[in-house]
Structure formats: C-alpha cells, structure tokens
Amino acid sequence: MERRSQSLLKLVVTLPAQLFEQLHSDWQKILQPHKDLIGEIESKLDGVDIAPGFNNIFRSLTRSIESTHAVIFGQDPYPTRGHAHGLAFSVDQSVTAFPPSLRNIFTELSTDCGVTRNSGDLSDWFDEGVLLVNRVLTTQVGASLAHSGFGWQEVTDAVAQELGKHDVVAILWGKSAGELAKYFRPDWRIESVHPSPLSAYRGFFGSKPFSRCNEILESSNKISIRW
C-alpha cells in the first residue's frame, strides 16, 4: 500500500501543469468560457509528440492585454522538431536555417524598415508588445495542421475578438488569419497574402506591414514597435 502511494505521488509530481494555468490572468478571464474545451484539447495531447513543447503552448498569451500593441496571426506551429517555441513564425534561438516563410518575413522587414536580423527568435518582438499567435496552437512533430480539428480556432477566435476591443494593430497574413478580420476595425488592421514562398510574390512583398503598423500606432500617440 505504501509503495502504491509513493508511485501515485511520483506520478502527480511529474505531470505537467494544467494547460489553462499557463495563461496570463487577463487571458484566463477572457478564455474562462472555453476552459472545458482547453481541457479536452489537453487530454488529446497526452502522449503525443507535439510542437511546441507542452510548456510553451500558451507562451503567446503570457503577457497582459494592456501590454499588447500589435498582433500577428499565423496558421499553426512549425512541425520540425526544435523549431516551434510558442510564438507564431518565430523559431528557437538554436535554429540557424530559417523556415522559408520566416526568411520572406525578414526580406520584407529589410525592404520596409532597413532592419536586418540574424536570429529567428522573435522573443524581442513579443517583449515589445507584439502578440505572435497561431490559429492552431499545436501540431504533431513532422506533420502540419495535424491538430486543426481539435478546436483551437474557437480559442483563438476569442483572443482576436478581445483584442479587437482594444487599440491593437492586427497584422493578418493569409486566408486563415484573414478570417479574423471581422474582429478588428478596418483602420487598425493590415492584411496581405501569407509570406509562404507559394504566395509571397502575390502581395506580401511590398506590403510594408511593419512601417504601416508603426504609423497606425504613432497616429494614436502610441509607442511604435522596434522591429
């Protein structure tokens, strides 16, 4: 009996924190109606090799809503092992061969703002108040959109709906992100095709999302983003 109790205690200690508890308190209040859904998704992730790792699933929602000045929506995490770390389009700092979409983002950033980046880790943007969030927050390692049917879109729709009530610039790239346009005022959103190599030359390059974002913020006496 004592041995069994010790085994149960060990199991409890090694289990990860509940997914909902990763959220900033602001987002816990907003997403409270979706807590059961988040719990259901968490149960589906049990035993699955996921990207990003469990502890980074809600990383993009660990800052206060008040500190958020812009949001960039992605589709789903990079499926390559070690790339995704909870911020859309960003890769872990150990990654040196950037994904094609991220390379195109950096090409546009250089053209738009004259900024050259050597790191694909966009944590500094996140620290500047740029929320980098995917529509679908997890996938199976090695497979894109593996979790598109888990219900994540209901959660991230609620995120977009809340952000649309605040002075937050929405940068929407591609069809999936464009579905959220209805939540944001026209003069506070920037839309274009996705930076993927399949579409970047059809309107992403030359769209100047970074300078346009700062123009919107500055016109409302908000602090611009240091891209």
Identify the active-site residue in 49, 76, 157, 167.
76
Q: How far apart are CA 217 and CA 221, in angstroms?
A: 6
Alpha carbon distance 66, 5 (integer Å): 45
Beta bridge partners of 139: 51
Residue 26, both tokens: 């602001």
Chain mean position to CA 192: 17
Active site residue 76: yes
Residues pairing with 143 in the sheet = 140
Cβ partners under 8 Å of residue 36, min gap 6: none
CA distance 226 to 122: 12
Residues with catalytic function: 76
